[in-house]
């Protein structure tokens, strides 16, 4: 078992982006399997399970995460050797989840070029908002950023910490519209769980790249239909995204984005889908176990001996962070 502390600092953001790119090429070549998400509610919480295989790399992975009301979320990634099914490692999945979600946006940002030092607008101040900004800063020259969270203390702490970490000013603002208006790159990583979107397309006139990563549930929506329908290209990281995320379910129901303006991240990486030179690119990330597998395999490569250690780094070390945004 590899706990959270064992994984910290082992993989940096630039490397994570590279790892996802390599795995996405395997996906584009038809050498992978990605399952839809399996969801189960159990009264005071829910469980989701994801499965993926990468035949080119030789691994299978599962990711299970459960939410208990009032407690938080725990993530567990299990890595298997594909040829014989041997369990190679069980890992805390919190860091893997945050890192690969940020890295997925970085993969697309490498191709959605924006000239000159740019600004970023963010809705959300939790773990994924942190790795999103870190990933975009690894790809772009960033001049400044603005952040909104409905909790003033959260957005102020985020701005203070990320300014110090990344070396450019991050300013807390008091509304979602103020956070995103006028920015060429916009991120939604909100923990809001409501059918009412926190992002409106009418606020995105200056937006070149939208990365919507906060909602992965069918009953919720993070961004409204216009956020996607006005885009020249809508990119998803999973072939199942239009059946899983509430905002994309609404887009499909209204026929707001025709298939000709849709692509998967694997298609973009392989060159089978092209990034428009102008106009908005909207990226909706729901996450896949294939992304988890990509990072888990590298963690195992570097820390495999530790995976066989005893309870000192065992299941008791699984984190249960409260969601915040």
Q: Is-contact 224 199, C-beta < 8 A?
A: yes
Mean pLDDT, residues 138-161 taken together: 97
Question: Is the per-residue pLDDT at 317 higher than 60?
Answer: no
Q: Is-contact 20 104, C-beta < 8 A?
A: yes
Alpha-carbon distance of 56 to 59, in angstroms, equals 8
Is there a domain that residue 324 lies in? Answer: no
CA distances from 181 to 115, 175, 199 (A): 18, 10, 10
Based on the domain organization, do 174 and 233 belong to the same domain?
Answer: yes
pLDDT in tens, 108-122: 999 999 988 999 999
Query: Residue 36 carries which DSSP code?
Result: P
How far is CA 125 from its chain centroid? 14
Greatest extent of the chain over all pairs of C-alpha atoms, in Å: 54
Based on the domain organization, do 79 and 190 belong to the same domain?
Answer: no
Based on the domain organization, do 171 and 268 belong to the same domain?
Answer: yes
Q: Is-contact 238 267, C-beta < 8 A?
A: no
Based on the domain organization, do 172 and 35 belong to the same domain?
Answer: no
Domain that holds residue 81: 4-97+289-317
Nearest to 109 by CA among 137, 131, 129, 130: 137
Q: What is the mean pLDDT of the chain?
A: 93
Structure-model confidence comparison of residues 67 and 268, the more confident one: 268
Based on the domain organization, do 112 and 253 belong to the same domain?
Answer: yes
Q: Is-contact 48 65, C-beta < 8 A?
A: yes
Q: Is-contact 305 118, C-beta < 8 A?
A: no
Which residues neighbour 4 within 8 Å (Cβ) at sequence distance 6 or greater? 92, 94, 95, 317, 318, 319
Question: Is the per-residue pLDDT at 292 higher than 50?
Answer: yes
Based on the domain organization, do 18 and 114 belong to the same domain?
Answer: no
Based on the domain organization, do 124 and 78 belong to the same domain?
Answer: no
Alpha-carbon distance of 7 to 55, in angstroms, equals 25
Which residues neighbour 303 within 8 Å (Cβ) at sequence distance 6 or greater? 2, 6, 7, 10, 89
- Torsion angle of the four alpha carbons 11, 24, 191, 231, in this order, in degrees rounded to the nearest 10: 130
pLDDT in tens, 214-245: 988 889 999 999 999 999 999 999 999 999 99
Is there a domain that residue 195 lies in? Answer: yes
Q: For 58-207, where are the alpha helices, taking DSSP H only?
A: 94-109, 127-139, 152-166, 176-180
Q: How many CB atoms lie within 10 A of CB 199?
A: 27
67: helix, coil or strand? strand
Mean pLDDT, residues 10-35 taken together: 98
Nearest to 171 by CA among 108, 239, 224, 122: 122
| pLDDT band of 183, cuts 50, 70, 90 | very high
| pLDDT band of 320, cuts 50, 70, 90 | low
**Full DSSP string of 69-84:** TTTEEEEEEEEEETTT
CA distances from 261 to 230, 232, 235, 253 (A): 10, 6, 9, 15
Mean pLDDT, residues 27-51 taken together: 94
pLDDT on residue 307: 62
| pLDDT band of 312, cuts 50, 70, 90 | very low
What CATH code is carried by the domain that includes residue 155? 3.40.50.720
| Least trusted range by pLDDT, from 181-185, 259-263, 290-294, 309-313 | 309-313
Is there a domain that residue 27 lies in? Answer: yes
CA distances from 274 to 78, 90, 134, 271, 277 (A): 34, 37, 25, 6, 9
Alpha-carbon distance of 137 to 218, in angstroms, equals 30
Based on the domain organization, do 61 and 196 belong to the same domain?
Answer: no
Q: Is-contact 74 63, C-beta < 8 A?
A: no
Question: Is the per-residue pLDDT at 310 higher than 60?
Answer: no
| pLDDT band of 322, cuts 50, 70, 90 | very low
Rg of the chain in Å (alpha carbons): 19
Is there a domain that residue 308 lies in? Answer: yes
Nearest to 97 by CA among 151, 23, 16: 16
Based on the domain organization, do 208 and 120 belong to the same domain?
Answer: yes
Mean pLDDT, residues 205-210 taken together: 97
Based on the domain organization, do 264 and 237 belong to the same domain?
Answer: yes
């Amino acid at each position: 078992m590899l706990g959270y502390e064992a994984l910290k600092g082992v993989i940096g953001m630039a490397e994570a982006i590279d790892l996802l790119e390599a795995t996405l090429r395997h996906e584009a070549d038809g050498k992978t399997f990605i399952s839809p998400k399996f969801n189960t509610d159990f009264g005071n919480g829910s469980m989701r399970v994801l499965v993926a295989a990468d035949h080119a790399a030789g691994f299978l992975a599962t990711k299970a995460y459960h939410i208990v009301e009032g407690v938080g979320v725990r993530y567990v990634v299990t890595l298997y050797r594909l040829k014989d099914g041997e369990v190679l490692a069980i890992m805390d999945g919190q860091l893997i989840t945050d890192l690969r979600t940020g890295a997925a946006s970085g993969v697309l940002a490498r191709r959605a070029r924006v000239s000159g030092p740019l600004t970023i607008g963010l809705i959300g101040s939790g773990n994924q908002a942190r790795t999103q900004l870190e990933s975009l800063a690894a790809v772009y020259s960033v001049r400044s950023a603005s952040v909104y969270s409905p909790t003033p203390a959260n957005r102020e702490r985020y701005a203070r910490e990320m300014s110090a970490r990344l070396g450019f000013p991050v300013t807390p603002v008091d509304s979602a519209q103020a956070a995103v208006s006028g920015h060429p790159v916009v991120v939604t990583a909100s923990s809001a769980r409501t059918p009412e979107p926190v992002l409106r397309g009418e606020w995105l006139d200056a937006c070149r790249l939208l990365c919507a990563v906060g909602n992965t549930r069918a009953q919720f929506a993070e961004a409204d239909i216009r956020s996607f329908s006005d885009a020249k290209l809508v990119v998803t990281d999973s072939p199942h995204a239009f059946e899983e995320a509430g905002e994309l379910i609404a887009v499909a129901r209204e026929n707001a984005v025709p298939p000709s303006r849709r692509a998967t991240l694997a298609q973009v990486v392989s060159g089978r889908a092209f990034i428009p030179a102008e106009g908005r690119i909207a990226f909706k990330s729901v996450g896949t176990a294939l992304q988890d597998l990509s990072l888990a395999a590298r963690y195992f490569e570097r820390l495999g001996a530790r995976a066989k250690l005893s309870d000192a780094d065992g299941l008791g070390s699984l984190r249960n962070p409260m969601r915040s945004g």
